A and B are shown apart, each in its own frame.
Chain A
Amino acid sequence: MRRASALVPILYIVFLMLPIYWLLNMSFKTTNEILGGFSPFPREFTLDNYIAIFTDPTWYNGYIDSLIYVAINTVLSVAVALPAAYAFSRYRFLGDKHLFFWLLTNRMAPPAVFALPFLQLYSAIGLFDTHIAVALAHCLFNIPLAVWILEGFMSGVPREIDETAYIDGYSFPKFFVKIFMPLIASGIGVTAFFCFMFSWVEMLLAKTLTSVEAKPIVAVMTRTASTSGYELGLLAAAGVLTIIPGAIVIWFVRNYIAKGFALGRV
């Protein structure tokens, strides 16, 4: 019985990990070996795929561009969402609940809906093919999410702490930075994580709004169909490298995310 109950999670994990293992496996093979047959581990182990990515600027610039707009977006989203979430958590104003819900409905529309208007608007003001364009476009989805998550954390802080700080003589900005933000540090961490992850994996808007200068890695990966056919080994290596930043971020915020779940907002 004990063995049977242990078997279920093991099977589950194997099924989950299998595609990732297979990706890793493929990334160490040559494209010929991948096309040639089925093998659970690379017979001719090679690092050529990785070397190719790290030496070819069109490849590694894809990662750099992605990281740039993701970083801009994360900072922007959190910075804008912090005061907004504070207002929602602390003040009552006309239509506050409706506005709060409306913010969230922004996330319900698929990004494709916005791709065309964004493309024309950003082209018109000369932002096409810049990092800031993608970062701003992703804000449409990330700011509502950030406000939603942060509001949950902020409402967990008693209002009396704000008042005690004012009684002590703190001005609002000083209180917010010195007292309040450390209190919701885990919330800020969780929010930043979700903004990062969304922006990192989002492909449609990023691809539509860029061409050369700010081409994200996901867009680069779709163009591996070269003259010599599909470079599958290269593609697999690129895929592995795309997973890594997310995995690193998850590792850092894993404890905070548990807290976020406990608050029921993630």
Chain B
Amino acid sequence: MLELKSVTKTVGQEAHIDDVSLALEPGTLNVLLGPTLAGKTSLMRLMAGLDRPSDGQVIMNGVDVTGLPVRQRNVAMVYQQFINYPTLSVYENIASPLRVAKIAAGEIDRRVREAADLLQLAPYLDRTPLQLSGGQQQRTALARALVKGAELVLLDEPLANLDYKLREELRAELPRIFAESGAIFVYATTEPSEALLLGGNTATLSQGRMTQFGATLDVYRNPVDLITAQTFSDPPLNTIAAVKEGGKLLVDEGRLSVKAPAAASGLADGPCTVAFRPHHLLRDKPGRGAVTFKGTVAVTELTGSESFIHVDMHGARWVALMHGVHAVPSGAEIALHVEPQRFMLFDAQGRLARADIKEAA
């Protein structure tokens, strides 16, 4: 088990990692989710021992390894860039950690070929990494991480530089490939959809702080605060400032009044934030009680199977994500509807009042 206890990393005046505590169990897949510069890589480097935390402890299986250099730890890491040893063959690249560990040649050969088969590298073992495609280069790096049998495997946006097809392929394979090893898996990504596809646990990061850690779906459905909800939403979460007055939510300086949903009962009167996900903003009124917003279309993006309609509503810019093609011209007036139970209400400090989402969001 890997435990981080109030780990902080400051560089100059800046806190790259701010007081993160985390416990990761063996055999689990843990996603670090956050936008660029949220501290995902910094946190991984602290876990690996490449950097030393300014404060706090790193504990591996009950042993304090805070100051222990990386080569005395049993970790493996794969970077976003395809990092291999260009002068060595693919075979020697994969065998590298085993050679350093002085494992018998026969055993090395067996493990390298096993990893190569699993990652479909068997035909390329004699080539050098630069003679391979990007996907194969990253597979080589993954094979090297796999073959080592490390207790802690860190994958830092390993699929970000791959094209769409390869990414989907490898993403589906990754959990399966590493599942048997029983290692602690840490996977950093900027994409909420990738976290959901991988499952496991998710830790959301924002500006060096960890905002929430739990089962991925749980974090997605019940974000503890506004930042977590925003981090875990793509396209971006739709939000609007509101004021709660008794049983009503007043939006846009009272120009629109909405009956407060049951979730608001825990919320004191005063300013709050109303948020909901883009695919809950609908063109067809779903039924009685739905809240209707009127505004103008800013721009429409079509992907074929989905349409993203960007709208200006009561001074906020929202996105509506819809199935199929909705070719709405820019500047058109539009009325969109949200079921009140889709609302997430956050108090003035950004804490969730209560998210009342009944089914899979």
A residues adjacent to B (C-beta < 8 A): 158, 160-161, 163-171, 174, 179, 182-183, 185
Q: Which of A163, A171, A182 has the most CB of B within 10 A?
A: A163
Known contacts A158-B81, A158-B83, A164-B77; A171 and B71 CB within 8 A of each other: yes
Cross-chain contact A182 with B77 (CB below 8 angstroms):
no
Known contacts A158-B81, A160-B79; A183 and B144 CB within 8 A of each other: no
Cross-chain contact A163 with B70 (CB below 8 angstroms):
yes
A165-B96, A169-B100 given; 8 more Cβ-contact pairs under 8 Å: A160-B81, A163-B70, A164-B85, A167-B77, A168-B71, A168-B96, A168-B97, A169-B101
**Of the residues A161, A163, A174, A179, contact of B77 by C-beta under 8 Å:** A163
What are the residues of chain A within 8 A of B87 when measuring CB–CB? 179, 182-183, 185
Interface residues of B in 28-87 (CB under 8 A from A): 48, 50, 69-71, 75-77, 79, 81, 83-87
Cross-chain contact A161 with B83 (CB below 8 angstroms):
yes
Cross-chain contact B86 with A183 (CB below 8 angstroms):
yes
Cross-chain contact B50 with A168 (CB below 8 angstroms):
no
**Of the residues A166, A174, A183, A185, contact of B70 by C-beta under 8 Å:** A166
What are the residues of chain B within 8 A of A166 when measuring CB–CB? 50, 69-71
Cross-chain contact A167 with B48 (CB below 8 angstroms):
yes
Cross-chain contact B71 with A160 (CB below 8 angstroms):
no
Quick check: is B209 within 8 A (CB to CB) of the other chain?
A: no
CA distance A163 to B156 in the complex (A): 13
CA distance A169 to B150 in the complex (A): 11
Q: Which of A168, A179, A183, A185 has the most CB of B within 10 A?
A: A168
Closest to B102 in A: A169
**Of the residues B50, B71, B85, contact of A161 by C-beta under 8 Å:** B85
Quick check: is B148 within 8 A (CB to CB) of the other chain?
A: yes
Known contacts A163-B50, A163-B70, A163-B77; A168 and B144 CB within 8 A of each other: yes
Closest to A164 in B: B83
What are the residues of chain A within 8 A of B88 when measuring CB–CB? 179
Q: How far is the CB of A21 from chain B (nearest CB, A)?
A: 42
Cross-chain contact B97 with A169 (CB below 8 angstroms):
yes
What are the residues of chain B within 8 A of A167 when measuring CB–CB? 48, 50, 70-71, 75-77, 97
CA distance A183 to B85 in the complex (A): 8
4 A-B pairs with least C-beta separation: A169-B100, A168-B97, A182-B87, A160-B83
CA distance A171 to B72 in the complex (A): 10
CA distance A168 to B144 in the complex (A): 9
CA distance A185 to B87 in the complex (A): 10
CA distance A76 to B76 in the complex (A): 37
Closest to B100 in A: A169
Interface residues of B in 96-153 (CB under 8 A from A): 96-97, 100-101, 141, 144, 148
CA distance A163 to B97 in the complex (A): 13
Q: How far is the CB of A207 from chain B (nearest CB, A)?
A: 42
Closest to B148 in A: A168
What are the residues of chain A within 8 A of B48 when measuring CB–CB? 167
What are the residues of chain B within 8 A of A179 when measuring CB–CB? 85, 87-88
Cross-chain contact A168 with B100 (CB below 8 angstroms):
yes
What are the residues of chain B within 8 A of A174 when measuring CB–CB? 100
CA distance A170 to B75 in the complex (A): 13
What are the residues of chain A within 8 A of B144 when measuring CB–CB? 164, 168
Cross-chain contact B100 with A170 (CB below 8 angstroms):
yes
CA distance A202 to B75 in the complex (A): 52
A-B contacts, 23 of them at CB < 8 A, read A158-B81, A160-B79, A160-B81, A163-B50, A163-B70, A163-B77, A164-B77, A164-B79, A164-B85, A164-B144, A165-B85, A165-B96, A166-B50, A167-B50, A167-B70, A167-B76, A167-B97, A168-B96, A168-B144, A169-B71, A170-B71, A179-B88, A185-B87
CA distance A171 to B102 in the complex (A): 13
CA distance A133 to B155 in the complex (A): 53
Q: Which of B71, B77, B79, B148 has the most CB of A within 10 A?
A: B71
CA distance A221 to B278 in the complex (A): 86
What are the residues of chain B within 8 A of A168 when measuring CB–CB? 71, 96-97, 100, 144, 148
Q: How far is the CB of B51 from chain A (nearest CB, A)?
A: 10
Q: How far is the CB of B52 from chain A (nearest CB, A)?
A: 14
CA distance A160 to B158 in the complex (A): 13
Closest to A157 in B: B86
Closest to B154 in A: A167
CA distance A264 to B100 in the complex (A): 35
What are the residues of chain B within 8 A of A164 when measuring CB–CB? 77, 79, 83-85, 141, 144
Q: How far is the CB of A233 from chain B (nearest CB, A)?
A: 49
What are the residues of chain A within 8 A of B84 when measuring CB–CB? 164
Q: How far is the CB of A189 from chain B (nearest CB, A)?
A: 14
CA distance A182 to B93 in the complex (A): 14
What are the residues of chain B within 8 A of A183 when measuring CB–CB? 85-87
What are the residues of chain A within 8 A of B69 when measuring CB–CB? 166
What are the residues of chain A within 8 A of B79 when measuring CB–CB? 160, 164
CA distance A165 to B86 in the complex (A): 12
What are the residues of chain B within 8 A of A163 when measuring CB–CB? 50, 70, 77
Closest to B141 in A: A164
CA distance A185 to B48 in the complex (A): 30
CA distance A44 to B5 in the complex (A): 91
Q: How far is the CB of B187 from chain A (nearest CB, A)?
A: 17
CA distance A171 to B100 in the complex (A): 9
Closest to A159 in B: B83
CA distance A174 to B75 in the complex (A): 19
What are the residues of chain B within 8 A of A182 when measuring CB–CB? 87
CA distance A183 to B128 in the complex (A): 13
Q: Which of B48, B79, B100 has the most CB of A within 10 A?
A: B100
Closest to B76 in A: A167
